[in-house]
Amino acid sequence: MSPSAPTNLAIDVRGLVKRFDDKVAVDGVDIQLPQGQVWGFLGPNGSGKTTTIRMICGLLRPSAGEGRCLGFDILKDSARIKRATGYMTQKFSFWGDLTIRENLDFVARLYQMPNRRRSVDETLDTLGLTHRQHQVAGALSGGWKQRLALAAVTMHQPRLLLLDEPTAGVDPQARRDFWDEIHRLSTAGLTVLVSTHYMDEAERCDRIVYLANGKLITQGQVADIIAESGLITFRAKGPGVRELAEVLRHQPGVDHAAYFGAALHISGPERRALQRAVAGADGENVTWEEVEPSLEDAFIALMARAGSDKRDHG
Ligand SMILES: Nc1ncnc2c1ncn2[C@@H]1O[C@H](COP(=O)(O)OP(=O)(O)OP(=O)(O)O)[C@@H](O)[C@H]1O
């Protein structure tokens, strides 16, 4: 295959491994992301998401594994991958004492873009930044900084966006605006891989890839992942729920108990055992019903399973 042979996969990497001295940060990860889709990249802190993203875009050489990003070989063609990719790192880097326009102009110079002025104008306009173009970037609120960062990584019209926790510390309205923008870009043909710790954001993705301890634990659509977890969940509501979690957490068959707003969820793999636990915690001040497990419930269960697998085999 020539480096730019057409493929319907924006990312096609297999067996990616990254070792840092004795530590295996990424341990045999495969990702096949079709063009035009938005995939969520999830996993606990330190699970290897950033390291994987950096290998995909050619910033970090894998210890083992191979693959292509936008048709280019990740081991040999990193310069071409970088040109065709927009990578938003966890800490957006821009110049705090330059204005929004000056920052974008600087990025346009880095990419040696022709018609720099026009590209900056268009980017400002598309992302709703025109009226703020002369504001100093360092004084912007979190949401506007993030919008600037998105502008900076999309201005050179990449085909793939790699976004590493782009909405950390951003308020709910700004997060919603950001996701509207992501879906607009995706509709225009851009492929997006976005790492996040927010479940509501995961649910906005076409598909989710979940990593733990450097290994891919599961991937699929939200409903598939919930089904795969094999969890049963019961929900308690009412004024008495606050006292229940501590007691129920230690009952046989209850893998975990967690509050979702004013309700308590208990989950485990066996309905009978949960029903027994619920019967023991029934009272005047609480009403129970079986509900669909949340994505968070499913991840906690899959994580626990992966954790015990590791202990069993390791
Ligand atoms: N340059 C490095 N040198 C040594 N260890 C590293 C390096 N980069 C990452 N690691 C380690 O590799 C593991 C995976 O880190 P990584 O940043 O990829 O995880 P992550 O899933 O992105 O975490 P987070 O959600 O906190 O951003 C961690 O244990 C981290 O400490």
The predicted complex's ipTM stands at 0.97
Mutate to test the pocket of ligand 1, among 49, 167, 194, 196 (most ligand atoms within 8 A of CB): 49
Say what the pLDDT of residue 99 is: 95
**115 Rama sector, left if φ>0, alpha if ψ -120 to 50, beta otherwise:** left
pLDDT in tens, 166-178: 988 888 888 998 9
Find out whether 80 and 10 touch, Cβ atoms under 8 Å: no
| pLDDT confidence bin for 180, thresholds 50/70/90 | very high
pLDDT in tens, 206-246: 999 999 999 999 999 999 999 988 999 999 998 888 888 88
| pLDDT confidence bin for 36, thresholds 50/70/90 | very high
Ligand 1 pocket, residues with Cβ under 6 angstroms: 20, 23, 25, 43, 45-51
Fold that domain 9-220 belongs to in CATH: Rossmann fold (3.40.50)
Reported pTM: 0.88
CA-nearest residue, atom 28 of ligand 1: 46
Domain boundaries, the chain: 9-220, 229-313
Q: DSSP letters of 182-206?
A: HHHHHHTT-EEEEE-S-HHHHTTSS
For residues 298 and 10, give the distance between their C-alpha atoms in angstroms, rounded to a whole number: 28
Range 77-96 average pLDDT: 88
Check whether 186 has a pLDDT greater than 80. yes
| pLDDT confidence bin for 310, thresholds 50/70/90 | very low
Whether domain 229-313 has CATH 3.30.300:
no
Task: Locate the ligand 1 atom nearest the alpha carbon of residue 52 and give its number.
Answer: 18
Structure tokens at 149: 């960062």
**Closest C-alpha to 142, from 167, 113, 179, 115:** 167
